[in-house]
Amino acid sequence: MLFGVIGDPVAHSLSPVMHNRAFAETGYNGIYVAMNVKNIRGAVTGIRALGVRGASITIPHKIEIMKYLDEIDEMALRIGAVNTVLNRGGFLKGFNSDWIGAMNALKEKTSIAGKKILIIGAGGAARAIGFGINSEGGKLTIANRTHKRGEKLAADLGGEFIPVAEYRKPQWEIMINTTSVGMAPNTEAMPVKATWFEKNMVIMDIVYNPLNTRLLIEAGKKGCTTIDGVSMFVNQGARQFELWTGQKAPLDVMARIVRGALQKHRRSAID
């Protein structure tokens, strides 16, 4: 069975390493490749014609692909983005595993229901995670640099909005960075000041390169529980694997191979 990640660019993606290792571990007859695609409509035709069993959809195609699918899962419709496609005999159904990945990563370290949760950012990842938080009964606040996007997302999610520039005394139990701030090569950057942290908060960063962002380092110094971006990435990939194969994903193996690949990349960059 053929699977792949579709996006532009995709050369950096760790999805092939992760999913191919999962196929090998479970004995599933599958191969997963990276497909650099600019024309998503043509790619969907190709998925049907070639019998591609499943695909991961990444930037910039998560929204546009929805126009060309036969069915879309209810949660993906609410989020307004698809990152997973399942092909059943030419019938293509779209799902969103990002929100499940984020919720599972959080629940490995903390409960969500009733917690005051701050999401930093107002892009697609923030939207997916926000819907997930709502489904788990969390109380949302959106923090964003630009008012218009932040206010719109907060309204859509039924939460509050604060501009990042307007510091308040920390009042959240969980904080999630959904922006790219702190991603390599700008590893010294942080989306908020360290004064936003208080002991016993849970701080999650969806950035996974570097593994330990400055945000997580500073949060750890304040005594916070930290969750790195690999946790969400692997958990969303596990959901994809299970949708495609009907088998339980080897989560620990997938996490180990991704962390190993990131460590190897880091050493190569240093050398």
Catalytic residue selected from 38, 62, 93, 116 = 62
Contacts of 73 (CB under 8 A, 6+ apart): 93, 94, 95, 96
Q: How far apart are CA 230 and CA 74, in angstroms?
A: 26
Q: Whose CA is closest to 224, among 252, 245, 251, 204?
A: 204
Q: How far apart are CA 156 and CA 78, in angstroms?
A: 10
Torsion of CA 62, 65, 67, 72, to 10 degrees: -70
Question: Which residue stretches of the chain are H helix?
Answer: 15-26, 40-50, 74-79, 98-107, 124-135, 147-157, 214-221, 229-245, 251-270
Q: Name the region of 34 (left: φ>0; alpha: ψ -120 to 50; beta: rest).
A: beta
- The answer to whether residue 62 is catalytic is yes
Contacts of 264 (CB under 8 A, 6+ apart): none
Q: How far is CA 268 from CA 139, 262, 265, 271, in A?
A: 42, 10, 5, 5
Torsion of CA 88, 91, 96, 97, to 10 degrees: 10
Tokens of 58: 């990444």
Q: Which residues are catalytic?
A: 62
